[in-house]
Amino acid sequence: MQKLTTKLRDLIRAPEILAMPGIFDGYSARIVEQAGFPAGFISGAGLSEALLGQPDVGLMGLETNVNACRALAACCTIPLLADADTGYGNAVNVYHVVRAFEQAGIAGIMLEDQTWPKRCGHMSGKAVVSAEEMVEKLHAATEARRDPDFIIKSRTDSFATHGIDEVIRRLNLYAEAGAELLFADALLSERDIQTVARSVAKPLCVNMGFGIRSRATTPLISAARLQELGVGAVIYPRLLTACAIQGMKNGLQTLSEQLHTGIVVERPDYAVSFEELNEVVGFTEARNLEQRFVAKGADPTRH
């Protein structure tokens, strides 16, 4: 059986663009796999917001992140790329961060060159460390991995602070230091994306939103068009969190109306059935295991 790390590496190197939806909990991990996507990106913002109810401004620590990622890796069979923020410290910290995520069953991690505490890539007020400091973090990351196929994705947030020439310079330094996948966050146009993609030595990844684009962020571009621009991978980190929030708001609005009017309204378009929910989380598999391993003559009501 092919290792998940090797599978992810092959997907990144393939001529077709790799699309990875953002995963943030067990539901999203299983749904992404069941929808046929070959890999998923564990959104650091999604974890912080869903687990802590806090924004993506560096409040989630390494232990919380790794424990959540371990659970997600255990409930699906596709390779997952995790968000390790800035590596939680210096190059020595990064060394141990790589070991922790690798042992958790993750196929690769993203490291960024922001200062700590970091900010979500499309927030204002970002700052970056020197390129030289980030290079040493990447040296530590590549040396730490026990599996040479474990993916190191390197992100720069220098577009907002230094401009596109510095983005290209940094990403090529990061590629030379061992990063297999490069990410320039918050580029502002197709032209920017194409310029970076054609100027860097390793596959470029970009970040796409979903729905209405906010001002001063990357425009919404189809995966097919991104491939034409030279992009190797695209992540959708806020797609499922945004859809989930809207779905919960819709459900609560319907419940509030029912409480005020006393009229029960069925909205099957707002919610999956109990049976479908059970199927998403693997209930059939659990029942099959019960039937295989429950001792003969055991009380069936206990299982």
The span from the CA of 303 to the CA of 301, in Å, is: 5
Confidence class for position 166, pLDDT limits 50, 70, 90: very high
pLDDT in tens, 53-96: 999 888 999 999 999 999 999 999 999 999 999 999 999 999 99
pLDDT in tens, 186-222: 899 999 999 999 999 999 999 998 765 555 478 899 9
Domains and CATH numbers, the chain: 4-238 (3.20.20.60), 245-293 (no CATH)
